Structure 1
Amino acid sequence: MSVVKVTNLTKKFGEFTALDRVNLEVNSGEVIGFIGPNGAGKSTTIRVLLGILKASEGEVKIFDQDAWGDAVEIHKRVAYVPGDVNLWPNLTGGEVIDLFVKLRGTHDKSRREELIKKFNLDPTKKCRTYSKGNRQKVALIAAFSSDADLYILDEPTSGLDPLMEQVFQECVKDVKSKGKSVILSSHILSEVEKLCDKVAIIRQGSMIETGTLDELRHLTRTQILVKTKQPITKLNELNGIHEIEETDQGLSFQVDTEEMDEAIRHISQFGIVKLESAPPTLEDLFMRHYEGTATGDTGVGGVI
């Protein structure tokens, strides 16, 4: 069942087209990773989903309702965590959590207490005393304490230490196991890789690739480390071979997936002693999509 269906979404600000015919679909119990460089249109898409911005063209449906016209009803079933959380400075963390949860019409005290303990948050402190990481914890606890059907998480682990990131990942897996849907935007690509069923890559306002990790890995290269009895020759003459390098452990190179068979056939004639292959990661996928772009947003640190 489709929870989110975005069809040919276009958003213009004057003459500038921020989103150009974007299509996105999220089904029940599905976690989708949404990645792209700064200015790609990811945050604009999320604002349209939340009913903060109105689409210039196209259709945006959440729970079969219009994201703009039915925003109030939709928000009763949606939990949102931004990348930079601002809280009421004179309220305690616990008071803010209770306020957010009650606004959604649900209040599971045992779940609230469990999450406060897991995220190691002191809920009695005033929000003005919290660090960025603790403000993120408040928003995450409030989101996962509520019984939402769709979680929209925009850089949700910004400011969290690795231990807390692990707690966050457990929370996402938990809501997924209950059939809830999650849209996760994250610059931590290993996090997206661990959690997401599908990945949507947006660039310059257009969706350039959407699919499962397995479907998208045909676009990436596999890292090979090989040691042979005789020196390997003419490897650089094969198609799809990249970044050949001699190391202490052996010969290292990357190979395009479609050329893997030919590469293995070639190196096997030199007497393989050791062969290691590392499957392509989401980071490899991302870098392949953006390498050589004119915008300069090719680094992982630029992902939003």
Structure 2
Amino acid sequence: MNNSIVEVKDVTKRFGKFKALDGINMTLEQGEICGFIGPNGAGKTTTIRILMGMINASEGRAEIFGKDAWKDAVELHKRIAFVPGDVNLWPNLTGGEVIDLFLRLRKGKNKKYQEELIDRFDFNPRKKCRTYSKGNRQKVALVAALSAEADLYILDEPTSGLDPLMESVFQETMREVKKAGKTVLLSSHILSEVEELCDKVTIIKQGKIIESGSLEELRHLTRTSIVVKTKEDLTEMKGIQGIYELQEDEKGSLHFSVESEMLGEVIQYLGSRQITDLKCMPPTLEELFMSHYKEV
């Protein structure tokens, strides 16, 4: 067994005749934040439920800290903090009471940090849970999970319902978790959040992992956007292989995209045309994601 925190090996999950997961593989190393992205129904939550020991894989094996996620679920949960995407709470308890209840179930907890998180997330723990909005219910789960002394955080749409300011607080907190050497699996629809936080991205589509790696490793799959202005005419660039969507704006600058393997050749060509302004923008995670999901 290697030093990986999470190992998903050839996992398939069937619900009757429906195959929710089809032989997926995924690895998380210690201190890594992995973004797990895909549209609704792609298999993200099913994967997370298998890792949490809520359901068993039909085929394959899921391991956390070298132990079986299904057979050793009770023991593993002592080292895992989980935030679901849809948080349901006891309506007659206050938010603070629910957080305390969750933390009493764990041996390791940080009361001082819990109070700091309540302040950071601008959360009122004295109100009954039935009065909370979705965002406030999410804050209960986040404060409880982050206050626990866990080694692995599994977060399924953790910022669902939070406003942009609170999303920023969440991102700051995740950087602290990473700095402490903890490991995070972050399932999110907010691609900018994943791009900001994650060391690695895994994209799932229709129950299959279609790409996995760092953003730098995956950016070869999309094109770099270039805006350039030169002292010479560049209309002949239309004939250069690997250049797409070439158009000129009202200021005389050319906008186009170029395939990664052609980038060096294009820059060399532009360098001989007396450049006066040049901007190169690497492909974003959103562009990468949409390149896999756009309808053909």
TM-score > 0.5 by shorter chain: yes
Q: Does the 8 Å CA contact 1:173/1:195 hold for their aligned counterparts? A: yes
What is the correspondence of 1:185-204 to structure 2 with a 5 Å cutoff? 185-204=187-206
* 1:223-268 alpha-carbon deviations (Å, 9 max, x no partner): 1001122331232222222222222341111111111122223334
Structure-2 residue corresponding to 1:90? 92
Identity of matched residues, %: 62
Determine if the alignment matches structure 1 residue 282 to structure 2 residue 285. yes
CA distance in 1, matches of 2:119, 2:139: 11
CA displacement 1:183-212 (0-9 Å, x = unmatched): 001111111111111111111111111111
1:143 shift after superposition? 0.6
Any conservation in 1 of the 2:10–2:59 contact (CA below 8 Å)? yes
Structure 2 residue aligned with 1:72: 74
Q: Deviations over 1:101-127 (max 9, x none)?
A: 122222321111000000000100001
8 Å contact 2:24–2:207 — kept in the other structure? yes
Equivalent-residue separation in structure 1 for 2:109 and 2:69 (angstroms): 25
Deviation at 1:271, TM superposition (A): 2.8
Q: 2:21 matched to 1:10?
A: no
Q: Is the 8 A contact 2:39 2:189 kept in 1?
A: no
1:184 has 2:186 as partner = yes
Q: Secondary structure at the match of 1:156?
A: coil
Q: Does 1:21 align with 2:23?
A: yes
Q: After the TM superposition, which of the residue ranges 239-248 and 131-140 deviates more from structure 2?
A: 239-248
* Shift >6 Å, 4+ stretches: none
* Partner of residue 247 from structure 1, selected from 232, 246, 249: 249
Q: SS state of the match for residue 134, structure 1?
A: helix
> Is the 8 Å Cα contact of residues 77 and 104 (structure 1) preserved in structure 2?
no
Instruction: Tell me which residue corresponds to 1:50.
Output: 52
Q: Give matches, 1:1-304, under 5 Å.
A: 1-249=3-251, 250-293=253-296
Instruction: Please give the per-residue CA displacement for 1:13-36, whole angstroms capped at 9, x wherever unaligned.
Output: 112211111001111111100011
Kept in 2, the 8 Å contact 1:92–1:123? The answer is yes
Deviation (angstroms), 1:269: 4.0
Partner of 1:298: none
Q: Distance in 2 between matches of 1:230 and 1:291?
A: 36
Aligned to 2:5, the other structure's residue is in SS state strand
Structure 2, gaps ≥5 residues long: none
Q: In the aligned structure 2, how far is the partner of 1:145 from the partner of 1:99?
A: 12
What's the secondary structure of 1:234's corresponding residue?
helix
> SS state of the match for residue 110, structure 1?
helix
Task: State the Cα deviation string for residues 102-161 of structure 1 (Å, max 9, x = none).
Answer: 222223211110000000001000011111111111110011000011100111111111
Paired letter, 1:96: V
Q: How many residues are aligned here?
A: 293
Q: Could you give the per-residue CA deviations for residues 73-123 of structure 1, whole angstroms, max 9, x where no partner exists?
A: 111111111112111111001001111112222232111100000000010
The aligned amino acid for 1:109 is K
Q: Distance in 2 between matches of 1:104 and 1:256?
A: 51
- In structure 1, the gaps of 5 or more residues are 294-304
Assess if the C-alpha contact under 8 Å between 2:243 and 2:258 holds in 1. Answer: yes
Greater displacement, 239-248 / 55-64: 239-248
Query: Whole-Å Cα distance in 2 between the matches of residues 62 and 212 of structure 1?
Result: 21
In the TM superposition, what is the alpha-carbon distance from 1:166 to its structure 2 partner?
Answer: 1.1
Distance 1:72 1:90 in 2: 28
Q: CA deviation at 1:219?
A: 1.0
SS in 1 for 2:22: strand
Amino acid at match of 1:114: E
- The root-mean-square deviation of aligned C-alpha atoms, in Å, is 1.3
CA distance, structure 2, for counterparts of residue 254 and residue 87 of structure 1: 49
